[in-house]
């Protein structure tokens, strides 16, 4: 049995993890989630996951520790609370705040300049219906001004946008904060960059986003639980929202596996149907939870994950510990 098993380690990440792994620590890797791999019992006393693996309840007393290779760790605290386990758990600190913020910018620009339609129209070289928007001077509501949100503030300012910041914790002195109601009503672009808690699930529901101005763009690069695809689809079909871009999804653990295995029809609940319908819209961009994925962030992520592992193996504690 190896010292640690890394689930959800895609090719580039696995290669980076191996570069940082000391020779005296053994490890195995798979790109699959726990659900996709045939492991009845834990393959190691320490496992490392991202956000799509569902850890079996029966593993709680067979594991010593879990390292989530993510900054958010609500999925780990939920597991610990569910099982009543006292196992150790660690997360990763800042490694992808810039990359996620830049993905949000990519999605904003893609929507505002009708990129998917532009690409399609190349085949005929017509420009009908391609007139887009400049983002300079537009109001951008950044909901959740933490580490990622603040990177977005800096980017938006550099592009001459008017930043409407929303956060219950006013962490930055150089940011102008607004109430959610005021910001959403004024915004041309709304970006969800919040941390997920039990209190803010479905924060961007149909009724909230219906208060946005007609034609506003909505981007979610945080967690799928913040916005129901059913509500977003309705707002798009009503032509109330001008565009939607998502990198995260409700019930992503099931959705991701169903798409990878081409078994989406087996999980066709209302949310899955709405996501597939959104994918067909020309003013919608959907990406596969990939905002973190840059060469730089993968290096930082891998280095921090191995640093966590080394610290735990030598001291019995994590440098960055999850506190349920």
Per-residue pLDDT tens digits for 140-184: 999 999 999 999 999 999 999 999 999 999 999 999 999 999 999
Instruction: List, in sequence order, every residue forming a beta bridge with 48; answer none if it has no partner.
Output: 6, 67
User: Phi and psi (nearest 5°) for 300?
Assistant: -60, -45
CB contact at 8 A, 71 and 96: yes
Mean pLDDT to the nearest integer, 286-297? 97
Q: Is the pLDDT of residue 267 over 80?
A: no
Global pTM? 0.93
Cα end-to-end span (Å), the chain: 28
Q: Is the pLDDT of residue 265 over 90?
A: no
Give the number of C-alpha atoms closer than 13 A to the C-alpha of residue 164, restricted to the C-beta side: 20
Residues 6 or more apart whose CB falls under 8 angstroms from that of 15 comprise: none
> How does residue 69 score in pLDDT terms, banded at 50, 70 and 90?
very high
Nearest to 167 by CA among 189, 188, 184, 144: 144
pLDDT of residue 3: 97
pLDDT of residue 264: 85
Alpha helices, DSSP H, located in the chain: 11-20, 74-83, 97-112, 115-121, 147-158, 180-186, 206-210, 229-237, 252-260, 270-279, 295-315
Residues 6 or more apart whose CB falls under 8 angstroms from that of 261 comprise: 36
Domains of the chain: 2-95+295-315 (3.40.50.720), 97-286 (3.40.50.720)
SS3 state of residue 150: helix
pLDDT tens digits, residue range 5-35? 999 999 999 999 999 999 999 999 999 999 9
Mean pLDDT of the chain: 96
């Amino acid at each position: 049995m190896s010292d640690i098993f890394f689930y959800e380690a895609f090719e580039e990440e696995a290669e980076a993890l191996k570069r940082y792994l000391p020779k005296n620590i053994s490890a195995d890797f798979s790109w699959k989630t726990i659900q996709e791999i045939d492991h009845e019992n834990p393959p190691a006393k320490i496992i490392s996951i991202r956000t799509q693996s569902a850890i079996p309840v029966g593993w709680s007393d067979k594991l010593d520790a879990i390292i989530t290779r993510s900054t958010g760790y609500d999925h780990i605290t939920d597991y610990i609370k569910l099982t009543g386990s006292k196992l150790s758990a660690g997360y990763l600190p800042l490694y992808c705040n810039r990359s996620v913020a830049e993905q949000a910018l990519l999605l904003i620009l893609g929507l505002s300049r009708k990129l998917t339609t532009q690409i399609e129209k190349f085949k005929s070289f017509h420009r009908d219906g391609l007139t887009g928007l400049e983002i300079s001077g537009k109001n951008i509501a950044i909901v959740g001004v933490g580490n990622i949100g603040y990177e977005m503030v800096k980017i938006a300012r550099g592009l001459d946008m008017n930043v409407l910041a929303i956060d219950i914790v006013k962490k930055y002195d150089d940011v102008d904060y607004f109430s959610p109601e005021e910001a959403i009503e004024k915004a041309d672009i709304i970006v969800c960059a919040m941390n997920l808690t039990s209190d803010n699930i479905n924060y961007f529901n149909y009724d909230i986003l219906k208060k946005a101005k007609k034609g506003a763009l909505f981007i979610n690069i945080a967690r799928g639980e913040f916005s129901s695809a059913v509500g977003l689809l309705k707002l798009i079909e009503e032509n109330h929202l001008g565009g939607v871009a998502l990198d995260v999804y409700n019930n992503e653990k099931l959705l991701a596996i169903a798409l990878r295995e081409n078994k989406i029809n087996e999980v066709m609940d209302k949310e899955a149907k709405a996501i597939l319908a959104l994918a067909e819209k020309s003013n919608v961009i959907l990406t596969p939870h990939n905002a973190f994925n840059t060469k730089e962030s993968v290096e930082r992520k891998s280095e921090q994950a191995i640093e966590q592992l080394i610290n735990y193996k030598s001291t019995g504690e994590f440098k960055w510990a999850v506190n349920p």
